[in-house]
Structure 1
């Protein structure tokens, strides 16, 4: 693993240094009035509520109150002062990370790294919040009103606050309220204080006047004149007859106050100095001198004696004006002659650049029209801006700087990143070709690993694989180049040159590595979360694809919905992944719409690779749910007829595997075998297992039909090995569902009934529970241990109990439809009578009353059915769904899913109190399914060395089914694993005695096992 955090902080922060004053709490003002009332109130609110607002006018004592309260709590305090530049969400996140990292070092690099990888900023904010873990930190966001019009930043801030861990706290301090979506926290977990709370009491005002050197001022008069406004008391606003709204030549009352009460007593030279230096966040003699004022040290010394709304450093050499005071000074600067104001800002921009604050420098240079200097500064920071996904800002800069760029190479890395981030590969290739025409492409690649890899990636997309490879020959070494080399293994006819375990290093190209993991079929690696704190989010699209291919549809759909809601959809997401998700959900019309809309975006991108992916998804849609084999074949031939298809081996393998299936279904085993042999040979040779499980099973069927049983067995074993490599049984189980004869033949050939093929056979049986549970169901029937019904999370209660049984029966029917005779037979044991007919009608009526319109029972001729649009499920269907999902998984994921299923049925008997024949039969069926699942869970636990848990499962199995011979064999192996030979024999004797009760004896497999273990 690479030291990614160190590198990302270097990449993200060196070009544009943090203004340290923004992430440090300001010093407490002097004189200071102790206010235990406010300190205690704030401390209590901070402990009790995750989010605390402090909204009040300027000078109300908001910041001071928070600083005082911070001294009374034991939590670490992270401080961030908002800035007008925070309208750029990337800069806001950068400063937010810096502020938090000062108190929670573990979050350093989380946001900047995720932005560098192109993650949407709303997701970055949520990730940054989650990275706080259980740290009891308090984040104070001061001057929050500066974000009031920054809508994008407020969205990012809302995402951060929604994902804050329970131990963290946030205090928002500002002059005006912010419109932030906090979800449920808005109702229950937010508190605030305002003007009335912060206003001085009479006693506090008296203390403040004494501390300010005005003991003779009547505090009652001060309170009457100011209403307890802290600034008014401290600045003695009531002494000025001019202090009324709009006086002092100002429309803003606060500006009028500042004009008449703060600036009026100063000399013209002092005012000029304050206005000129207002561009500085902190005024020091050296910084002020760079802006032009003469003898700044002496001027600062004079101002130190003045009564200003400002903070001073301990040595008195640095001045930081109150934000609202500085805001007014900047307004005065803008009123000066334009040439004078422009010259001051130009000097300020140059000062920022000299101190490596390049991003702020670019903004200032552009503001004053100094394009050449802006270009120089942009060269230092534009890549960092682009990496953190501030794409709009980067585009604005590039457009503004276009007139002064004397070479395409200048800023080319940022242009390439912008094009690739927008999946506009044609534009990226055009830029690379222009650089080649100017003789600069190779030199740029030698100087920048990222630029070289971006050009290589773009060439690969548009079909120029030769150029994609040659670019890497002269690209500078680095993680980006390594990632692109790994990517090219998708089209190489040989094993990968870079071990996948080393591929993720925290570089922004990690997203590419995740995508290669996916298309090589390394689903386990795609699902890994160990790489970095944020890499798990980088490849969410590919993780969704892996979840679908592993059979974890519900989890994939949840992640899909969350990703599409929180991010702009890229071309692959909208044109490929959306089709895949809709196909898995059986929503054919939506899948086809996404397919057609996606084709337009793909054409714009210029990507041949995305074009081929689109045809693959069309073929899969028709094969799996569309039912049109001719259309599927046409889509696949679109791929194979492309001249480039022979180069893109990983795409060709997927296309030929599907075409082989079509040929098998058409009865052409010879052509199918030809295609599938090519797939299997190439995939094995290159260690690409994405299509190998399917292709191996289909080839086994084709070879069997052609009279090649040995070749059929070898192909089937290749498929089984591919399932191990993929970390999931789902693809091979799908293929075996198409051709179960492959499984039957392998089971017949295996003498050991505990062989890998027999384990897979049991998984295949479990995967065919026939579940129809709806993803995202809004209506849920509780059946285990109690009977209940909820609609959209709220409990509803039909008036008679038979309504619950009726719904359970309809759901178990899968088709959700039954005739009247079927209902009478199942729910009333076949007894047709007027009273039973009446009771059935009541059950239907009362169930209809509590169900929403789209799930309402429809009374049809001779029976009833549930509404076709109903999003409805039950606990028993969920159990069957989990059993099927577990069958497709391996290892720890498999065992975890089994636990969830067994926990569900372990809540109690199915439909307690219901005694109909159907209920008893279904109860027995579920009991048998649970017993089989416990045995499979025991097998899985043994494979994971979870021997104690395996023994518990086996004990439960034998209590439910004392004649389960395979469970006895597994118990014998468990005893042997712990070195207990006596127990091995004892378990065998138990098996012998149990089977004797039914006139049977242990099988040869069990006797052979005893012989092997009892030495």
Structure 2
């Protein structure tokens, strides 16, 4: 049974189904052999020839001989939309390589750049169990010729296809297609290769029953053009430009030699049905044509440039173009009538997006208005914002004030564009006309979006109003959850059960946004299922990574989002960017992004963004410039603004920073007066984001004010809040500012394995900044080999001493100038003779040649790394990974620690280099790696990876048998495995190891033995 046209998949299936080879088609062994050989020998083959030259048939015949899995995609003009192109390309591949299904669509939902999605799709072919030798054919590729973006997607797909796969492009025009990196494995077939020979023309004419035609004469008249031969173009003595009123030679040929050979009824049928991509009796009758089935039966007997699939007729693309041009001569009114009829057919078949495009083309705006609402919201939901904005602009002439149906879509666009002022203007217009409550009652989504806009513009009363009148459901619940940023006290769970749960809808973005501001950082790990929600929330995911100490991941995601070329989020660049740059030591960039962000924030109409910007400015003034006066000046406008007095989250953060300023001024009582209500409010409202820092500041302020009990209680609150966050990063940052809080709290602990001791070890391991590690252009390999990589490409200085010189300079704690004598001491064991000095000069020279601009001098004999060049080494990356791991828990912590060990496990540090500085660095790293391995064992034990913990712990105890904490972990591990004898054996081994140093196990270890042996 033929596939019904109302099947939602028929459009894609038509595009990805290879056209059938007619049994009457003449085989052309010469062309088949040529194409078969070129495809087997070359990864990319491009077939350039005019319409009707036989490109498609020749490739289909070659594919039959190759017996490769064939993935076919027939392109059309709409495929210049690169997202659509990728979806179709995935569908075509999935017919032969099922493993790729979902790769492109998933990556598009994650908002990856489209060339990157194409690369992932191609790489998925290589990872498939079968099908990596697939033959991918893109037919009618000329449709993409004017789109650099579409050709870029095809180029990326081609570049990353496995070497065993093959790609063939069929095009009527040459393509600006980049083949860089393919080497010689590209081939092209042209018009002359496909032109018929005399024998091929004779065979083709014989098969079509035209033995009366001289094949030699046919070739002379047509130049070997296959379609010309088969449709007898050579017989027309007037076969010139302008024939039949047509400017296009092919159109002239089609007019005189095909259309004019049909009777008037057949001509009318073909021209009228040209609006249809595929003609069926049902579709033709929907256009008002009677007896369509019999008419199509009659046409089937004519020699026309069409293909047939059961009762479905599809015109050759150029033939359809010709027919559409003829249809245009009937006048705009007839075109509108046919397009409207076709649109109604598409609507009946479930193809509402295509139907809307036809209605717009027909200028049937009232009819489009009647059906557009659900389609528009779906288009916005999948993040096709340009299409949605184009549709809304087209509908503007028929919009009425009483139309509220499109308000939800407009609100979605306003929020995702961060144009909260526009959203509020729309909501206020609805309120003025008495329709805001009506919309909220009928659409929970619209209610949630209006509440979101009111939240940003500092209008909590309006926010409450739309929430209270909104249609109950997950969208209104999302807005109610976000109200926790405003309300002083969180509602009890039994009053608002389930708030903060993801529903799979667009308003999950608001839930994610509230998760961050409320400090539910672990819950930011879950990606929203809705593409719109993911797009709207992705910048907050960067914030979540940054707040949990996953700075490298935050940096990578930040730049992936910024570098996509799409419109950038104001939150991302104006608020996240400054904090991220400050975290990695890029102080100038942090201040620049903050200043530039103020202008962009003003365009959003968001008072909340403005408040955040002021708070961040104060943080940077305190952290980077140690300037409490500047911090206070930054906060002054916020303290006077209503949002700084009414939004609980802002009030508490403001008070926290005011308390921090008071501490900087040595005013403990004033600090307490700010910090006590801030901590109390955060706890009452269950707002955890800034609570660890506020509680640490309160602990310090209370101690200075002479209230030791309050100081201890505040420290415990800080630890509890960090545990609630699921991260220790904020807590460790505050403790780094006031380490005495940790020291005082440690004095109260009676065991050596308390959470505070763990924090002490973590704080010690927070080595330096990440500025020289994240985003570095120059990398020095040090473990197992020595090498320099510049912008992901390995460079090789002529002298090995040049690599050692760069490693020495890069591993120094500060970038101060190093004198020549210091370099001679470090690299040449203090030799000061001319030979060593000459060798040093040559090492510097060759390093500069290999890595330009990496060194700078200051007019004297000294040397240092250039400030503008970021250099990292493998050992610095190990240290940075250890530092980042201190803020994390669970599998993420274990992953970073194992990544650090992965570098060390590559081999000896700086093999072959024996100098004083290298030996010292080797010793430092040995101690650091003992800590890394022990912490990895602890993390593996905590996550239940007991076998991995056992292996890591064995290595720790071999390297450092006197590490008592490792023996305690060995005892706990044995107990977890149910081996009580091994618990005792571990304790005895601890006794022996410590006894060699004249020590005994501590009371903590002895108490642990008793607990585990009970």
Q: Which moved more, 1:24-33 or 1:131-140?
A: 131-140
RMSD: 3.7
Is contact 2:97–2:128 with CA below 8 Å preserved after alignment?
Answer: no
Residues in 1 aligned to 2:810 and 2:432: alpha-carbon distance in whole angstroms: 67
Distance 1:607 1:123 in 2: 33
Q: Which residue of 1 aligns with 2:3?
A: none
Q: Find the counterpart in structure 2 of residue 231 from structure 1.
A: 227
Structure 1 residues 105-114 or 22-31, which shifts more? 105-114
Using the alignment, how far apart are the partners of 2:955 and 2:681 within structure 1? Answer: 46
Aligned residues of 1:16 and 1:359 also touching (Cα < 8 A): no
Q: Which moved more, 1:758-767 or 1:502-511?
A: 502-511
1:774-824 per-residue CA deviation (whole Å, 9 max, x = no partner) reads 422222222222222233334434444433333222222222321234334
Equivalent residue of 2:624, what SS?
A: helix
- Cα drift, residue 892 of structure 1: 1.0
2:504 alignment partner, one of 503, 506, 509 = 506
Counterpart position of 2:483: 488
1:868 shift after superposition: 1.5
Distance 1:477 1:223 in 2: 75
- Flag the 1:260–1:387 CA change in 2: closer, same or farther, 3 A: same
Check the 8 A contact 2:380/2:532 in 1, yes or no: no
CA 1:829–1:128: 2 relative to 1, 3 Å? closer
Partner of 2:763: 764
Answer whether contact 2:159 2:182 (CA < 8 A) is retained.
no
CA distance in 2 between counterparts of 1:788 and 1:341 reads 69
1:57 aligns with 2:53: no
- Give the Å deviation of 1:485: 2.7
For residues 472 and 165 of structure 2, what CA distance do their matches in structure 1 show? 41
Distance 1:421 1:996, change over 3 A: closer
CA distance in 2, matches of 1:341, 1:798: 70
TM-score normalised by length of structure 2: 0.89
Structure 2 residue 846 is matched with structure 1 residue 843 = no
Aligned to 2:408: 413
Post-superposition offset of 1:897: 0.9
Residue 369 of structure 1: CA displacement?
3.5
Match runs of 1:435-454 below 5 Å:
435-454=430-449
The alpha-carbon distance between structure 1 residues 141 and 834, as it changes in their structure 2 partners (threshold 3 A), is closer
Deviations for 1:34-78, whole angstroms, at most 9, x for unmatched residues? Answer: 467767877888889887654432123333345556667787766
8 Å Cα contact 2:271-2:324 kept in structure 1: yes
d(CA) in 2 for partners of 1:723 and 1:36? 74
Who is 1:388 aligned against? 382
Is the contact made by 1:449 and 1:481 (CA closer than 8 Å) also made in structure 2? yes
Which segment is superposed worse, 932-941 or 25-34?
25-34
Q: Deviations over 1:479-524 (max 9, x none)?
A: 4333323322332321586778972233222332222222222222
Structure of greater relative contact order (alpha carbons < 8 Å, 6+ residues apart): 1
1:464 CA displacement = 1.4
Instruction: Say if 1:349 and 1:921 are closer, same or farther in 2 by CA, change over 3 A.
Output: closer
Q: Which residue of 2 aligns with 1:82?
A: 75
What's the CA shift for 1:630? Answer: 1.6
**Equivalent residue for 1:174?**
171
Change (3 A) 1:346 1:752: same
Are 1:863 and 2:862 an aligned pair? Answer: yes
Q: Say if 1:576 and 1:614, in contact at 8 Å, map to a contact too.
A: yes
8 Å CA contact 1:779, 1:790 repeated in 2: yes
CA distance in 1, matches of 2:184, 2:1009: 63
Shift of 1:90: 6.4
Aligned length: 999
The corresponding residue for 1:324 is 318
Is 1:291 aligned with 2:284?
no
The match for 2:143 is 146
CA distance in 2, matches of 1:1011, 1:753: 16
Taking the aligned partners of 2:51 and 2:112, their CA distance within structure 1 comes to 36
Q: Per the alignment, do residues 152 and 857 of structure 1 end up closer, same or farther by CA in structure 2, a change over 3 Å counting?
A: closer
* Equivalences for residues 36-435 of structure 1 within 5 A: 53-68=46-61, 80-86=73-79, 134=128, 136=131, 141-150=138-147, 172-179=169-176, 193-195=189-191, 198-199=194-195, 205=201, 207-214=203-210, 226=222, 228-244=224-240, 247-314=243-310, 317-379=311-373, 381-406=375-400, 407-435=402-430
The reply on whether 1:559 has 2:557 as its aligned counterpart is yes
Deviation at 1:366, TM superposition (A): 3.4
1:240-291 CA distance string (max 9 Å, x none): 4444566454332322332232223222332222112211112233332343
Contact conserved, 1:116 with 1:387, CA < 8 A, in 2? Answer: no
- Alignment correspondent of 1:939: 938
What aligned pairs does 1:348-747 form with structure 2 within 5 A after superposition?
348-379=342-373, 381-406=375-400, 407-492=402-487, 493-494=489-490, 503-529=501-527, 539-566=537-564, 567-747=566-746
Distance 1:885 1:49 in 2: 47
Q: Is the 8 A contact 1:494 1:687 kept in 2?
A: yes
> 1:629, 1:17 → 2: CA distance?
67
The TM-score with structure 1 as length reference comes to: 0.89
Instruction: List runs of 5+ in structure 1 lacking aligned partners.
Output: 1-12
| Deviation readout 1:663-711 (Å, 9 max, x if unpaired) | 2121122222232222322222333221122122222212222222232
* Structure 2 CA distance for partners of 1:395 and 1:1001, relative to 1, 3 Å: closer
| Distance in 2 (alpha carbons) for counterparts of 1:891 and 1:266 | 76
Distance apart, 1:971 and its partner CA: 1.7
Q: Report Cα offsets for 1:526-553 as digits up to 9, x if no partner.
A: 1335968997666331222222222232
Structure 2 residues without counterparts, runs of 5 or longer: 1-5
Distance 1:538 1:813 in 2: 42
Checking the alignment, whether the CA contact within 8 Å between 1:963 and 1:994 is kept in structure 2 is yes
Measured at CA, do residues 782 and 551 of structure 1 come closer, stay the same or move farther in structure 2, by a change above 3 Å? same
In structure 2, distance between residues paired with 1:921 and 1:554: 28
Give distance in 2, aligned partners of 1:511 and 1:214. 68
C-alpha separation between the residues in 2 aligned to 1:731 and 1:81? 54
1:456-481 CA distance string (max 9 Å, x none): 21111111112212212232244433
1:193-251 deviation digits (Å, cap 9, x = unpaired): 55455555666555543433345656566556555543234334444444456645433
Once the two structures are TM-superposed, the CA of residue 365 in structure 1 deviates from its matched residue by: 3.5
1:355–1:937 Cα change, 3 Å:
closer
Aligned-partner Cα distance in 1 for 2:485–2:339: 52
